[in-house]
Structure 1
Amino acid sequence: MSRRQLVRPDPSSGGGLGDDDTGCTVLHVDMDAFYASVELLRRPDLLGTPVIVGGGDRGVVLSATYEARRYGVHAAMPMARARRLCPAATVLAPHHEDYSRISAGVMEVFRAVTPVVEPLSLDEAFLDVSGAVRRLGSPTRIGELLRDRVADEQGITCSVGVASTKFVAKLASGGAKPDGLLVVPHAQTVPFLHALPVAALWGVGERTAEALGRLGLGTVADIAHTPLATLVRGLGESTGRHLHALAWGRDERRVVASVPERSIGSEETFPRDVDDPRFVHRELLRLAERTASRARAQGVAGRTVVLKVRFADFTTITRSRTLRERTDVTREIHATARDLFDGLALERARLRLVGVRLEGLADSATAPRQLVLGERAHGWRDADGAVDRASARFGAGSVRPATLLGPR
């Protein structure tokens, strides 16, 4: 079923930007409240209610439904503050394996349309669809197709911005949220930008916004009509030229097809400081399982295992070990991380956080593997594959090591 009825003009444009998408071959696709939307697949009974995804009171918000955002809750906010702002919200623990799996499915949808996909994170990407127009139709039609397929195949919604540059496409997807599509015609780029506040420009953070305020500049139009020399004098050469170009819609960046992630990892902030090495060993297994699952979902294996430890006083250290060959096997990653931890000889030091990361990634299908004389026909790699298949069918965590069963 087409979702064309969800294509919306920018409310600030006074009635519409128009439907002319000629030359607008850059798309920015952004999942709506990604982590929260994925969690609602597990808990459909919570649809339409405020939901927060995050850790304990000492953690931070990973995502929140739009019902929770109305109370001021947003990503990266301390969980304790989020609970105070929205006490009626349901707080759900994150399931990173699900996020990686669904993200991989979403990226497959994108790459089925165009090979020129530049992921920015698990839940958003730029696409150059110039090579797909003849086959699939206009950029707007392609955006509609992407939204339909993501909804049908992954069960979540996304918003799409269609424009002639990356910068404007990203602004358009934000203006289309949630669950919409917005086209900014090439001829309307400058009027669209000039109505926005200066904070909308890429690269304007809190300090730059303050500097612009001291110059009396509050909108993008103000920046555009300020002499370049004045901007350079007030903001510096690089920032002044950068903002002046963006204010006139000039963005020369091209969509660049992605390279594989350099690392994959997971970490855990404990609700209270811990000093029991047996507890830490269990958490390292949990993190290794999560990291290995994400690696397998993305079809990569890594050669270097990195351990991260943060102490109660927030001092943080890392230790790493490079293996003889790349791996995506939970048991091997956990054994290495555990050896690294034991090698620290901490003697009951109080810990706030531990993490496990896999680096030196390469395509697992082509990574060389050393054969071992007398090796069994089926080993731990096959066991992990069976776990992945069971998780895909019955849900993440349906099969797990016995050590991780029972209360944490």
Structure 2
Amino acid sequence: MLIAHFDLDSFFVSVEILNDPELKGKPVIVGGGERGVVSTCSYEARKYGVHSAMPMKTALRLCPHAIVVGGSRGEYSRYSRWVTEIIAAKAPLFEKASIDEFYIDLTGMDKYFDPFQWTVDLRQQIINETQLPISFGMASSKMVAKIATDEAKPNGYLHVPAGREQEFLAPLSVGKIPGVGAHMREVLKNIGIEKIGDVLHYTPVQLEAHLGKWGPELWEKAQGIHRGTVEPYHEQKSVSTETTFNENRTDVEGMLNDLVGMTEKIAYELRQDNKMAGCIAVKIRYPDFETTSKQTTIPYTFYDDELIPVAKELFMKLYRKGTPVRLMGVRVSELTNEAVQTNLFSNAEKKSDLYKAIDSVKNKFGKGMIGKATGKKKS
């Protein structure tokens, strides 16, 4: 296999700097309030020990002169789509792993062109068109390519040729291996493993005795062996629901109530699948079967209170006042699993907990148990 891994450097910060160039070169933290967490931060802030997912209070104690910005979710979505479109137009097979991270499978492409130079050129095109810094790593597996990207940052690239994976990995901290967190690093340190190369001083059987089933897997990863494949990115997947009324309707308030219920249903399904939508559409069919629809792009979300106002607005723009309606539908598309990254802002943690509680009740007692007051159907 030949895999390239792209990662937009400090993506949220980079977008904020494009929107406000005065932030360039300064310690910038993107996140929510004093009670929130750090979503990402500039390299200037990282020098003080600030890192993603750190409590904001801790970050400001380490770097009291940092500039804190709340985050521009809509802008992040827009730039992410822009980069996705550039890659989609060029890459034979790619996976969008998150809002700012991509894998490209270039296996077999060396018959037609130099894959490394092709990837260098693609990176430069992204930089030229979006002005965003981006790094990439290239290797024989997704894991090694991702580690190579981390080593190439900021704004660089690194190719690990096939057969040289162990040589590349050996001097790196064992914490560079995916799945090795702080606790596991401490466990490994106690048995003399601090660098990835140290892992190979043990046999898989010995590691299993210390670490259980994780031992042999760690031994393989230390050699650069990883069997993960690039999962094709499908932007056109969607979730939709629609209803044909028993009688043609003209009661706008009642139809809006039904629209709320339909949107809640879709939002619930998104959360169950841990997907977010970047586009929402409303459809109306009239008695003569004329069907019209209107859609708009939105910051990625799976929350009722963010989808419902947009759905209502689309309906009001689309509906021909006084004209009976036969069918109504709602559809969301541009689905992605970027939920975690786009939800590290102000009140997102509280909101996430609230919706988890609501969904828990729905899962236990049925989807119709809880809904917006305006979305309840008349008995």
TM norm structure 1: 0.62
* Aligned equivalent of 2:239, options 278, 282, 302: 302
Residue in 2 aligned with 1:130?
107
Pairwise CA distance, 1:323: 6.0
Residue in 1 aligned with 2:361?
none
Query: Within 2, Cα distance between the matches of 1:153 and 1:255?
Result: 25
Change in Cα spacing, 1:121 to 1:334, as seen in structure 2 (3 Å) is farther
Residue in 1 aligned with 2:219?
244
Residue pairs, 1:156-235, within 5 angstroms: 156-235=132-211
* Aligned equivalent of 2:29, options 52, 58, 61: 52
Query: Within 1, Cα distance between the matches of 2:38 and 2:276?
Result: 31
Change in Cα spacing, 1:333 to 1:239, as seen in structure 2 (3 Å) is farther
* Aligned equivalent of 1:373, options 279, 287, 295: 287
Pairwise CA distance, 1:115: 3.2
Pairwise CA distance, 1:184: 1.1
- Structure 1 unaligned segments of length 5 or more: list them: 1-22, 261-297, 304-321, 326-330, 341-354, 389-398, 403-408
Change in Cα spacing, 1:35 to 1:323, as seen in structure 2 (3 Å) is farther
Identity of aligned residues (%): 34
Residue in 1 aligned with 2:318?
none
Change in Cα spacing, 1:324 to 1:60, as seen in structure 2 (3 Å) is farther
Pairwise CA distance, 1:134: 4.5
Residue pairs, 1:324-363, within 5 angstroms: 324=243, 335-336=260-261, 358=270
The answer to whether the 8 A contact 1:36-1:51 is kept is: yes
Change in Cα spacing, 1:194 to 1:149, as seen in structure 2 (3 Å) is same
Query: Within 1, Cα distance between the matches of 2:270 and 2:203?
Result: 49
The answer to whether the 8 A contact 2:169-2:224 is kept is: yes
Q: Does 1:37 align with 2:5?
A: no
Pairwise CA distance, 1:127: 0.8
Query: Within 2, Cα distance between the matches of 1:61 and 1:131?
Result: 41
Query: Within 1, Cα distance between the matches of 2:41 and 2:283?
Result: 42
Change in Cα spacing, 1:199 to 1:364, as seen in structure 2 (3 Å) is closer
Matched residue SS, 1:186: coil
- Structure 2 unaligned segments of length 5 or more: list them: 245-255, 300-309, 314-379
Residue pairs, 1:364-403, within 5 angstroms: 371-373=285-287, 381=294, 384=296
Pairwise CA distance, 1:139: 2.4
After superposition, give the CA deviation of every residue in 1:218-252 in whole Å (9 maximum; x if it has no partner): 2222211212211011111x211101111122222
Change in Cα spacing, 1:374 to 1:58, as seen in structure 2 (3 Å) is farther
Pairwise CA distance, 1:174: 0.4
Pairwise CA distance, 1:299: 5.8
Query: Within 2, Cα distance between the matches of 1:163 and 1:96?
Result: 32
Pairwise CA distance, 1:203: 1.8
Change in Cα spacing, 1:339 to 1:251, as seen in structure 2 (3 Å) is closer
Residue pairs, 1:250-329, within 5 angstroms: 250-258=225-233, 260=234, 301-303=238-240, 324=243
Query: Within 1, Cα distance between the matches of 2:257 and 2:83?
Result: 29
Matched residue SS, 2:71: coil
The answer to whether the 8 A contact 2:50-2:62 is kept is: yes
The answer to whether the 8 A contact 2:166-2:223 is kept is: yes
Q: Does 1:141 align with 2:117?
A: yes
Matched residue SS, 1:187: coil
Matched residue SS, 2:75: helix
Q: Does 1:69 align with 2:46?
A: yes
Change in Cα spacing, 1:335 to 1:53, as seen in structure 2 (3 Å) is same
Change in Cα spacing, 1:90 to 1:362, as seen in structure 2 (3 Å) is closer
Pairwise CA distance, 1:143: 2.1
After superposition, give the CA deviation of every residue in 1:334-392 in whole Å (9 maximum; x if it has no partner): 9449989xxxxxxxxxxxxxx98845789999x9956233799877x36x47x99xxxx
Residue in 1 aligned with 2:349?
none
Query: Within 1, Cα distance between the matches of 2:225 and 2:263?
Result: 51
The answer to whether the 8 A contact 2:284-2:292 is kept is: no
Aligned residue type for 1:141 = Q
Change in Cα spacing, 1:109 to 1:131, as seen in structure 2 (3 Å) is farther
Change in Cα spacing, 1:85 to 1:107, as seen in structure 2 (3 Å) is same
Matched residue SS, 2:107: coil
Aligned residue type for 2:202 = T
Residue in 1 aligned with 2:366?
none
Aligned residue type for 2:58 = R
Aligned residue type for 1:186 = A
After superposition, give the CA deviation of every residue in 1:125-172 in whole Å (9 maximum; x if it has no partner): 11112354445x322212211211111222201001011111111111
Matched residue SS, 2:60: helix
Aligned residue type for 1:204 = V
